Structure 1
Amino acid sequence: MSAHPWEHGDEPIIERPERTLAGLRGALVRVAPSLLPLMDAERDEVFALAAETQSVGPVNGFLLRWAVTVEIERHPATTRRLRRAEHLARTASDEETLRTAAREVAGIKAAAMRAVDG
């Protein structure tokens, strides 16, 4: 597994969208349309929570989580590495494989977080 979150030649297939609901949703339509139902369900829960608590914190967290997801999904090789590592983490039969896969997942997500939250 690679120590670098983005491999050479793993060019983004779309530009990084604005961190708005419309921007992130539009990006998902292009890079990972299968995730739209999950985003929409989470959006409904988050907006209800934000209204209930009268806080924008849940909305900001939602937008950041989806910005990270889009950041990963717009890099096809990185997305494949993440899926592979997630699969290994779920199916590992030994502790070392599990740890290695978990580190890979965490590293990819941390790099995406740094990229969008600069």
Structure 2
Amino acid sequence: MSTQADHGHELVPRPEQTPDALRAALAVVAPGRLPEMQRTKDEAFAKVVAWQSLSPVRSWVLAWARDIEIARRPDLATRHARATGNLEHEDLGIAQEALRELATVLDEAVKAVRA
């Protein structure tokens, strides 16, 4: 597990960006998503063969590191859930603000895992 900036209470430390470490962290913060993780991992590895490129695996690692970053930090998880819940709000202004907030949360999570 790597060190990271303090963001308040975190459910688990930020995992290393390896499939095993990401899977172990996901098993704690969002165990219901483990089948999805395995399915997308299988898809990424199939693309590696078809495309003869490692970029699908790199993308898979980054996407799961981002999602785990959100799930392990209650501050981000709350903001993410609120924004996601308002994406289809009948008030267009609220829906647009939700989309902006969702983009902000995703960007913050990606920056954190790339640091």
Give the structure-2-normalised TM-score: 0.89
Q: What secondary structure is seen at the aligned counterpart in 2 of 1:19?
A: coil
Task: Report how many residues are paired.
Answer: 110
What is residue 4 of structure 1 aligned with on the other side?
none
Q: 2:27 aligns with which of 19, 26, 29?
A: 29
1:99 aligns with 2:96: yes
Q: Deviations over 1:58-88 (max 9, x none)?
A: 0000000000001110012321221121011
Alignment of 1:47 with 2:24, yes or no, is no
AA aligned opposite 2:103: A
**Residue aligning to 1:76:** 74
Q: Once superposed, what is the RMSD of the aligned Cα atoms?
A: 1.5
Alignment gaps of 5+ in structure 2: 1-5
Assess, with a 3 A threshold, how the Cα gap between structure 1 residues 9 and 54 changes in structure 2: closer, same or farther.
closer
Could you tell me the percent identity over the aligned residues? 36
Report the TM-score, using the length of structure 1 for normalisation: 0.87
Task: Please say if residues 9 and 73 of structure 2, whose CA atoms lie closer than 8 Å, have aligned partners that are also in contact.
Answer: yes
1:17-41 deviation line (CA, Å, top 9, x unaligned)? 0001001000000111011111111
Name segments (4+ residues, structure 1) moved above 6 Å.
none
- Structure 1 unaligned spans of 5+: 1-7
Give the one of 96, 112, 115 matched to 1:115: 112
